[in-house]
Chain A
């Protein structure tokens, strides 16, 4: 209480402003009188706070402060009655906190569901969440709870899986935006966001048929080359006579989803010349309405843009039967809850869950712009990624083509209706043949790249999975039969790519007619021969799926060919878990976000959002990494952390892209060079194969490409170039390391001495080190009570040590974005960005060794030689 003593109150600050005039008098002579009321008023709040703070204490604190050490007893911290009476009421009793109910109680289906609902309030769970949460480290990102890495597998295991087996990753968080309308209108709107110089766009002949998936980087309209939004993949719905309007699915990353949506809206409203009209349907309806058994899909049907009334009728007709089913559904398993949770709610579940509508906050986001309808299919499609040569086998086992033959009775199922159409059933037969051909291939890389295949498959839950060992040993027969039905014979056509998955009504029906896991299990248990597949006939679900081929990396000198090839499987929502489990049974190895990153690192490809520093999402990611790294650094004691001033690292926690590009400093904006032709020229200049093309190394680049190189530089002064880094000898590049130009002496030394790995940077002096030491010493003494002076707080001078990017002796031209040991090449490798101006300097200083750079990691003074390629 000394701090609040009388003396201080007399020259208190509250009166200071008011009695400025007589301030000097107060100092000189004692006050005549004090206005008590006013005086008390000023301090009332403060005192109240103090009072509250002293009264309320936790148990442990109470014991600490209020009683002498000799009187303390261990039991006091648990049992309040052990405390003396006078102290007791000052203590907030821990015991009156709500006791955690027993595990048995918590695991009751109802309570567990409630808990799940609560946990999903702030983020979205993937459908396979429960499965993953038991086996994976989960992270919260982009509004989703995403599996990051398996708890029992290293990244090396994941590399092995992608190289030799099958890695499966749930990427259902990828968001899909559907655009519907006339082809011309769509194209004119969408083409404002992409630039044909960066590669093929939405309107490319290759993609317009709808047989292939395309990809491109989108920009904000009119801002190219600045203002990148992010990469997207897309595919068109194959044309058919019954659908004059075209449909386009644009798949984007959730980090760029909102930006893209707005930008698309803006661009369409510009071309259509009318404002965007939000026709989205909020489904978060009152609880009692939910209790009446209305489900989400039904509510969605109320959407004004639904003109397909015929199908709707049938669907509602179906629902009556379905509700009867649902009444005995209250003992569902949880995996199944996950599958159904978002789509339908049984009566009992909803009435007992007051917070239910929080979960189904699925907003049917739609907007009508002129003649174009944009629909968000976020969380309404599931996407699994299969990587590796075995993925072919796994998919072959998991996806069994459904039987669509039926006697011509009343068409009660969606597939009967859909395949009644002669054209559809013919297409189905073609798809079946095609898929059989595909199954003969040993790897996805044997097929034409990016092809989209539509299939209708059986319910994977009724098929008995083969034992994992059977799979590996099966292929022992048929040694050298050269079947020359080559991959060339498999021609992709529009019929093969078309799928009922495109139709909203069918998607809904497929979800709503899904037999619950409980029912399937019951049927299985009643099955006479256990372990064999169920025969459900027409009652078995047929699920429309889309398969998209991923071709892996293009084979070059440096890499193993087609690494990372595989398939993407697109399913209607609600079916994720069934297919996931089936694939796991068939030998796929599950992975998470880290596996995706590792794959990109091994491929040395760009991964969104990390490797797109010119997008908003990429910058957010960089900021996150920066704060994380800073926190990690400051957690360590000073002696146990690197002194970055001494190491001469200006930005140890972030990438200073801005400083790389602004030479003349007109604008601090930078962008990544993505123009295909320019990159090609750069490749000609900088990609020199290490051993083979010695001749090429000796030659100077020909005049033509030299001229175009100069031209590129004049056009893209503010640009960064994505480079791949390969180490010359040992060592690995690390995040935030620098890429700099070697001096002539370095190169000469390297040539003379084969063991010369690189020069060593001179250690910088830390001007503040002595100060810091002194400060620490004083603080120590002060703590001991020897030195009475409180340590003065000197404002830290940070501006001083901000050097220019010129890294002392060797000029920095770029930073390493990610690096590490590459398992495919067996040495250190990484990826980074260099400024184009820096590359020009590199080229000028070393015309014969133009891809030779020095890299230095932030925690070392050692430079190492490495080679870059564009």
Chain B
């Protein structure tokens, strides 16, 4: 079964070296349990939040965050697990596009993820397994939004 899961989990599972998870891994290999991942806990989504995934087209994500940055003057980019690289890449690209006008500040955190282990036979109890995964939250904001707007206005006028 494990072959069909995406890379996010595999890397995280490799990181995990707790004993209990190993036990579960054995059980999964023995085909007594099937792994089903729950959705990671999300925070309430605002207009300025971008959750980076590995499935969406990168250019599309870039464009979207650029749009938010332009209209709201700030954007929060969140990346979890294997998508951290992508989130950082996205932020750097935004910064270089901004030509010095965009600042960023990054926070890292650890998220607790929960997997459900679904028993494959009638006489087994359901189990859950929790593991930790790292996440990054990058705040991108325009350095002096007012100034930039003014200069833009001037540019428009001329």
Which residues of A does B touch, CB under 8 Å?
196, 199-201, 203-206, 212, 441-443, 445-449, 475-476, 478-482, 484, 486-488, 551, 554-557, 560-562, 565, 676-677, 680, 683-684, 687, 689, 692-693, 696
Chain A min CB distance to B71 (Å): 15
Binding site for A on B (CB under 8 A): 1, 3-7, 31, 36-47, 55, 76, 107, 109, 112, 114, 116, 118-126, 128, 130, 137
Contact assessment for B122 and A204 in the assembled complex, using a CB-CB cutoff below 8 Å = yes
Known A205-B123, A555-B37; judge A693-B42 contact (CB<8 A).
Answer: no
Q: Are A443 and B42 in contact (CB under 8 A)?
A: yes
- A205-B122, A480-B43, A487-B38 given; A555·B6 CB < 8 A: yes
CB distance from A266 to the nearest CB of B (A): 23
Contacts of A683 in B (CB 8 A): 1, 4
Q: A488-B128, A488-B130 given as contacts; is B122 within 8 A of A448 (CB)?
A: no
Tell me which residues across on chain A come within 8 A of B43, comparing CB atoms.
442, 479-482
Q: Which residue of A lies closest to B38 (CB)?
A: A446
- In the bound complex, how far is the Cα of B120 from the Cα of A783, in angstroms? 71
Does the CB pair A488–B123 fall under 8 Å?
Answer: no
Q: Give the complex CA separation of A206 and B32 in angstroms.
A: 13
Evaluate contact between A196 and B122: CB separation under 8 angstroms.
yes
With A205-B122, A443-B39: A484-B6 Cβ-Cβ less than 8 Å: no
Q: Max chain A CB contacts within 10 Å: which of B4, B39, B46, B47?
A: B39
Is the pair B120, A696 in contact by a Cβ cutoff of 8 Å? no
Beyond the given pairs A446-B41, A479-B76, 6 more chain A to chain B contacts, judged by CB atoms under 8 angstroms and listed by A's residue number, are: A446-B38, A449-B38, A478-B44, A486-B41, A486-B112, A554-B37
Establish whether residues A557 and B123, one from each chain, have CB atoms under 8 Å apart when the complex forms.
no
What are 11 inter-chain pairs, A to B, with CB distance below 8 A?
A: A204-B123, A205-B125, A206-B118, A445-B39, A482-B43, A487-B114, A488-B128, A557-B5, A680-B31, A683-B4, A687-B3
A516–B40 alpha-carbon span in the complex (Å): 43
Hey, which chain A residues are within 8 Å of B45, CB to CB? 442, 475
- Contact at A449–B36, with CB atoms within 8 Å? yes
**A-B pairs under 8 A by CB, number:** 108
State the Cβ distance, B101 to closest chain A Cβ, in Å: 22
A-side contacts of B3, CB under 8 Å: 684, 687, 689, 693, 696
Q: Please give, as numbers and ranges, the residues of chain B lying within 8 Å of A486 by CB-CB distance.
A: 41, 112, 114, 130
Given contacts A683-B4, A687-B3, contact A561 B39 (CB under 8 A): yes
CA separation between A693 and B122, bound complex, in Å?
33
Given B44, B107, B128, which contacts A448 in the complex, CB threshold below 8 Å?
Answer: B128
Q: With a CB–CB cut-off of 8 A, which chain B residues contact A484?
A: 112
Whether A551 contacts B55 by the Cβ 8 Å rule is no
A206, B5: Cβ atoms under 8 Å? no
- Does B6 contact A200, Cβ atoms closer than 8 Å? no
Interface pair A446/B39, CB less than 8 Å apart: yes
CA distance A775 to B1 in the complex (A): 61
Docked CA distance A199–B31 (Å)? 12
Closest to A551 in B: B36
Residue of B nearest to A676 (CB): B120
CA distance A441 to B118 in the complex (A): 22
A254 and B119 alpha carbons, distance in the complex (Å)? 30
Name the contact of B112 in the complex, choosing from A196, A488, A689 (C-beta under 8 A): A488
Q: B residues within 8 A CB of A481?
A: 43
Q: Quick check: A556 and B39 within 8 Å, CB to CB?
A: no
Cα distance A683–B34 in the bound complex, in angstroms: 14
Asked whether A487 lies within 8 Å of B119 as measured between CB atoms, the reply is: no
* Contact call B119/A205, Cβ cutoff below 8 A: yes
Contact A204 B119, beta carbon cutoff 8 Å:
yes
B68 → A minimal CB distance (Å): 14
What chain A residues lie within 8 Å of B112 (beta carbons)? 484, 486, 488
Q: Give the Cβ gap from B126 to chain A, nearest Cβ, in Å.
A: 5
Q: Which of B6, B41, B137 has the most CB of A within 10 A?
A: B41
The chain B residue with its CB closest to the CB of A212 is B126
B125 contacts A206, CB within 8 Å?
yes
Q: Are A482 and B130 in contact (CB under 8 A)?
A: no
Q: Which residue of chain B has its CB nearest to the CB of A202?
A: B122
Report whether A557 and B4 are in contact in the complex, using a CB–CB cutoff of 8 Å. yes
Say whether A445 contacts B122, CB under 8 Å: no
- With contact pairs A443-B39, A445-B39, A449-B36 given, residues A687 and B4 touching in the complex (Cβ less than 8 Å): yes
Given contact pairs A196-B122, A205-B122, A488-B128, A449 touches B116 in the complex (Cβ within 8 A): yes
Q: Are B55 and A442 in contact (CB under 8 A)?
A: no
Tell me the complex Cα distance, A479–B55, Å. 25
Rounded to whole angstroms, the CA-CA distance of A478 and B46 in the bound complex is: 10
Give the distance in Å from the alpha carbon of A476 to the alpha carbon of B47 in the complex.
8
